[in-house]
Amino acid sequence: MSLPKNSHEIRTLETVYRAFPIAPSSKGRKIIARAFEMARIAHDGQTRASGVPYVQHCLATAEILAGIGMDARTVAAGLLHDVPEDTEVTLETIQKEFGRDTARMIEGITKLGKMKLRGDAEDFKLENWRRMFLAMGEDIRTVIIKLADRLHNMRTLEHLKPEKQQRIANETMEIYVPIANRLGIGEIRAALAENAFKYLDPENYQKTKKISQEMLSKKSAYLKRALEEMKTLLKDKHVKYVDIHGRAKAIHSLFLKIQKHDGDVNRVYDIIAVRVIVPDVTSCYEALGIIHRRYRPMVGRIKDYISLPKPNGYQSLHTTVFGPEGQILEIQIRTQQMHDEAELGIAAHWLYEERKHKSWRAYLDPRKKNDDISLEVKWARQLREWQKDLGNNPDEFLEGLKVDFLKNHIFAFTPKGDVIELPEDATIVDFAYAIHTDVGNTAVGARVDGKMASLDTIVRNGQIIEIVTDKNRTKPNTNWLGFVKTSHAKGAIKRQNKKEE
């Protein structure tokens, strides 16, 4: 399963139908066909900057949505996403023809279309940001459609003027790439980042692409041998596998990894990696044990994201070994569902509900608290409370947005084993407030992995942190505002001090 890549192909309804991992029902095909007909008539006479009929963009967006397993109504909304804004057809007409559900998605997309990024923080429009994230909290499909729309726009960016290319590429890298990452949609995140990188830093893009191509050429024969050896190894030990294949690291991710290692590409071990897809979780650990018995693992390079998934829901076992012929090789082991969710993120839930012939509507009910999707977009729904803390200060809102929601997140633990999720570079005070406001307000010190640490210490992934409190303390130290990172901690400190005063 992969995203359609040819952005210049002439698309038809059949192109969209072929993109579905599971063929849509006859009812689904009829909904999509009706949506296409409305989009075709509404956009008649309109063309893109490339000169092709505008409806081709609608079809391309729909094809991407179909490719990641979205349901027929979401694909239909993708076909119609620009109709109310760019044509004379109204939302009321769409609602009458397709129902409130489809109209609501398109209404959300119309609001998102008003969001613009023009470089500096001062240029952000606070209200547009709030609309975007409120839409995300209300119906996550709205944002998934917007990501598909943006991906096709990025793939056809060469037809625009250079200054517009820069603005759109910058907006994509600053906003859409982190959102795709936060939703766990790896394929769309990588594709958006690569296309934005190409325009924002063409020199480094070409250099990194050349490095990737050279490594792929040099290692292709070795990778083929390694894959065959891995298949034989698991087969001999009677461990079933669904698939074993190689994957090349995405261009932008590779560039960031090379930068992290001071430009030394030889220290990047996962330019090419082996993916082992097995039937169940037990087989993941069995395969890991068998691989480690054959190939010596590198110390400190084993990561268990199954027991402790990443904040965006990613699950897999990662290990780096001295593989066949002693060459360093990264191996990722996961189930088919974990693989689909790593590539498609939250969109994979629609795919799995379709496979099980269950209704996906239950996943969209904000009143439900314990289902998978509710948990995965908990951060989006928290925005309403978070915005109250920030008031109407645009600078604080933007800073909080970047830190709390778009920055990479880590996990740390309380001594009882409770998992606390924090943005990178968060401090012990942020950790304390994430446990409970009272713990933050009365914090006087901390032990990190058993050793005393100051409250401004930055929390690292996987650390065990014990907060030392003093119940006689009545208010937090206002100096903490100089180093805390999360909006929750900042808001709590300000509120408690105001209350004490």
Q: Which residues are catalytic?
A: 85-86
Run of H or E including 373: helix 372-376
Cα 270 to Cα 496: distance, rounded to the nearest angstrom: 47
In degrees, rounded to 5, the angle at the alpha carbon of residue 297 between the alpha carbons of residues 296 and 299 is: 130
For 427-492, give the DSSP string.
BHHHHHHHH-HHHHHTEEEEEETTEEE-TTPBP-TT-BEEEEE-TT--S--GGGGGT---HHHHHH
User: Nearest to residue 85, comparing CAs of 24, 146, 164, 133?
Assistant: 146
Contact 75, 57 (CB under 8 A): no
Instruction: Give whole-number Cα distances, 215 to 192, 282, 345, in Å.
Output: 23, 33, 28
What's CA 219's distance to the chain center, in Å? 29
- Give the SS3 label for residue 323: coil
Place of tokens 């109709």: 83
Residue 435 in contact with residue 414, Cβ under 8 Å? yes
Task: Give the chain's radius of gyration (CA, Å).
Answer: 24
User: Residue 320 pairs with which residues in a beta bridge?
Assistant: 330
Distance in angstroms (rounded) separating the CA atoms of residues 352 and 313: 15
Contact 340, 310 (CB under 8 A): no
DSSP per residue over 37-49, as a string? HHHHHHTTT-B-T
Task: Give the position of tokens 């041998």.
Answer: 225
